[in-house]
Amino acid sequence: MYAPKHRGHSSQQHHNTDEGMGAAANGHGHRARPAPRRAKLKVLLLVIATSLVSVYLFSGASLSVHIPASAPRIHLWDSAALLRDLNATRAALAGARAELAALRAQCNASSYLLESVLAGLGAVHGDTPEAKDFGGWPEEPLGELKLAIEPHRLPLGFHANFGTDELFPGLGFACRNFQEELAQYMTYNVSGECPEDDALALQLALKGCEPLPRRRCRPREPARYAEPAPLPRSLWAVPPDTTVRWAPYTCKNYTCLVQRARTRGGPYFCKDCFDLEGKERRRWQADNGGPGFSVDSVLRSRAPGTVRIGLDIGGGTGTFAARMRERNVTVVTTTLDLDAPFNRFVASRGLVPLQLTLMQRLPFADGVLDIVHSMNVLSNWVPDAVLESTLFDIYRVLRPGGLFWLDHFFCLGPQLNATYVPIFDRVGFRRLRWKAGRKLDLGAERNEWYVSALLEKPMT
């Protein structure tokens, strides 16, 4: 209902108006009364105002809109107090950082003063001064070695992903113990040809100086290089001699390496590995009476197609990877060029070599491999602590349900239950298969044993 526009209407007009309203209300009038427009407008304004208040409150607009102090405010939370607390916290952190920097400066100054006092006392007593320490190096690094081991400042400053404003080189901790050899390795002509020092690099790596620093030189390649054979023929083909630089090795061709399998004695590592038509051709083909498994029997322990990628630790010339490649499984082979071009040979077969020593952390993320295999490398010649750390690292890179095939682990009889079984149990593998047998190649009186085990990383 709304008020009339003019107050001077007669009673008859009021009577007619009331009759018209009554007729409209009873549905008997010829025309309905118009809707109350002002009421609709008020509802619309109320909806708009409510929406604006909601947007204002929940979008945090109160943090950026300046409202006069005299204006009334509605506080669902005290945003101004939160801002004050945040600013106070930032100020406190900045002050703490400044104080920490000052303390570091004072410590450095105190250390320098103490060293000066001790040096003065030593001079008074006639002590021989010690050689100056250059960041932990007994002699000041020079040339390419200095370039390789020092940090390099990032051109764009601090990087959040790195958490620093410098790039630090990857250099083995033990390299500090062999600075003379490392300086020799890093002495070369920049942009020229690298020296023939493969044996030096390998010796440094075996001493724990790994990873070695990068070098700005080009390795010498063999003359008259020949393309490798195509797959799958390359898996069982000895490559041409022209694919290798033979200077670092005792043998100067592959014929010599193949014939080593037929010689007695000799300090050769895996001396029959290059004879692809001999024992190497028969490996992992069948489950025999000895402590070994076949590739097919191991793969049958998993659902078809679920073993896809893996690692072979100490795989020699890559025959295990070749067997798995024939079954559509990709396996990376770790191997070392111990007086023979193992890495080149693996690559010539169309497989992936990885030069890696036993002490190095496996270069894989957690839980990414379906299978890890190792034959003969992990045995009682490895210190117990190193062996246990290696087994935990293998556990780390395997996915849940992944397989660890420990192949021909050898040890003395008393060591098996007293030392190694407890280590395997501590790592947490679940046993799927376990076979043990006597190792008789060096005589029964030595009481040596082989153990082959198929172990599973439990499902989570």
Give pLDDT, residue 3: 43
Q: Decide which of 46 and 355 is more confident.
A: 355
User: What CA–CA distance (Å, rounded) separates 347 from 233?
Assistant: 13
Flag whether pLDDT at 101 surpasses 90: no
Dihedral angle computed from the Cα positions of residues 296, 299, 301 and 305, in that order, rounded to the nearest 10 degrees: -140
**CATH architecture classification, 233-457:** 3-Layer(aba) Sandwich (3.40)
User: What CA–CA distance (Å, rounded) separates 338 from 168?
Assistant: 30
Residue 199 amino acid letter: A
For residue 196, the Cα-to-chain-centroid distance in whole angstroms is 32
Q: What is the mean pLDDT of residues 66-91?
A: 63
Q: What's the pLDDT tens digit per position in 248-261?
A: 999 999 999 999 88
Q: What's the pLDDT tens digit per position in 293-325?
A: 999 999 999 999 999 999 999 999 999 999 999
| Least confident window among 56-70, 86-100, 403-417 | 56-70
pLDDT band at 10 (very low <50, low <70, confident <90, very high): very low
DSSP 290: S
Flag whether pLDDT at 234 surpasses 80: yes
Backbone angles phi, psi at 213, to 5 degrees: -70, 155
Give pLDDT, residue 370: 98
Q: Render the burial of 384-395: b for 16+ CB within 10 Å, e for the rest.
A: eeebbbbbebbb
| Least confident window among 171-180, 203-212, 323-332 | 171-180
Give pLDDT, residue 16: 42
Residue 220 amino acid letter: R
Q: What is the mean pLDDT of residues 189-210?
A: 93
For the chain, the structural domain boundaries read: 143-207, 233-457
Q: What's the pLDDT tens digit per position in 148-193?
A: 878 888 888 888 887 888 887 777 888 888 989 999 999 999 999 9
Q: Which of 47-56, 88-97, 208-217 has the highest mean pLDDT?
A: 208-217
Reported as half-sphere exposure (CB side, CA atoms, 13 A), residue 42 has a value of: 4
pLDDT over 90, % of the chain: 47
Give pLDDT, residue 8: 42
Flag whether pLDDT at 21 surpasses 50: no
Q: What's the pLDDT tens digit per position in 276-287?
A: 999 899 999 988
- Find, among 291, 286, 287, 284, the residue nearest to 436 by Cα: 291
Mean pLDDT of the chain: 81
| Least confident window among 7-21, 114-128, 251-265, 413-427 | 7-21
Three-state secondary structure string covering 369-437 = EEEEEEECCCCCCCCHHHHHHHHHHHHHHEEEEEEEEEEEEEEEHHHHHHHHHHHHHHHCCEEEEEEEE
